[in-house]
Amino acid sequence: MNMLQRRLEDPEVLVRLNAFFLSYFGWVAFGVLYGVIGRWSLDLTPQFLRLPLTSRDLVVGLVEFTKGVPPLHALFTVVYYLGFAGSIALIVAYLLLYLRDLEASDRLLARYLMAYAVAGVIYLIAHIYAPHIVYNLPGYTSSNTLLTRQEFVLPSLHNTFIMINILTLWKYRKRLGGKVLILTNSLIPFATVFLGHHWIYDVLTGFLLGMAVSKAPWEWSARISTGIYRWEVSSLQRVTVLNFLLAVIVLIVAADPARALAIFGGLLGGP
């Protein structure tokens, strides 16, 4: 507990935490704006379905196999929903709050930003729908959320970030925490395919994108304006708490938009 308190009084850590929050909020904002700016994106799903390993029999077979093994289905479900925001939160907490590895944290953020940019450009040009949408699998939502859109499939950012996380954590592979995080991240690609959320090609292209941005010669460093470091620690802490609460609200709204809006409406005194 003392270690956590020290980290949350460290301006270097607080600035980087907020940088990760802002990068995540930027992607959420892009997903919302995509409803307008993505109208000209080409839907390549019909052409995509001509490729092998995209048949309904394969997709339904994998999903039914997974559901037929309840422990496996439960594990993959937990791993999948932990996948994107959860994997980011865990690795950032491990690198920044536990290890205080500022260099690895800067490298991780640089890779995330490059992945966001490349994937965003690709989605604006062309998109493909998820397997459960294409084959109208029962029990899946077809609506978009603040966390994802059904068109954001190839490359899979889920799997792009998994590859980035594993490559960034690799130097800690002999530590218990590093081993647990690498193992958890390694399960997510299987969960995305066996639950019908992604095509096999999404995983492969996600891996390729993750490796490409991780090997890129350009690395961002958290050289934030010195003016920010002159802020009082209490001010940085308030900003961090505000961003944390905003992230929690985004997750709640994304999980059940209708329910969340009803709750917020009640709190605001709506009908």
Interval 77-91: pLDDT, tens: 888 877 667 778 888
Q: How many angstroms from the chain centroid is the CA of residue 218?
A: 22
Q: Which of 35-39, 120-124, 165-169, 177-181 has the lowest mean pLDDT?
A: 35-39
- Enumerate the domain spans of the chain: 9-232
The radius of gyration of the chain's CA atoms, rounded to the nearest angstrom, is 20
Q: What percent of the chain has pLDDT over 70?
A: 72
Mean of the pLDDT values across residues 104-110? 88
Q: What percent of the chain has pLDDT over 90?
A: 16
pLDDT score recorded for residue 123: 92
Higher pLDDT, 218 or 136: 136
pTM for this predicted structure: 0.80
| Mean per-residue pLDDT of the chain | 78
SS3 state at 42: strand
pLDDT score recorded for residue 245: 62
DSSP conformation letters of 80-135: HHHHHHHHHHHHHIIIIIIS--HHHHHHHHHHHHHHHHHHHHHHHHEE---HHHHT
Interval 138-154: pLDDT, tens: 776 656 555 566 788 88
Is the pLDDT assigned to residue 237 strictly greater than 80? no
Euclidean distance between CA atoms 75 and 188, whole angstroms: 10
Q: Which of 38-47, 195-204, 218-227 has the lowest mean pLDDT?
A: 218-227
pLDDT score recorded for residue 222: 47
pLDDT score recorded for residue 74: 87
Q: Which of 174-178, 189-193, 236-240 has the lowest mean pLDDT?
A: 236-240
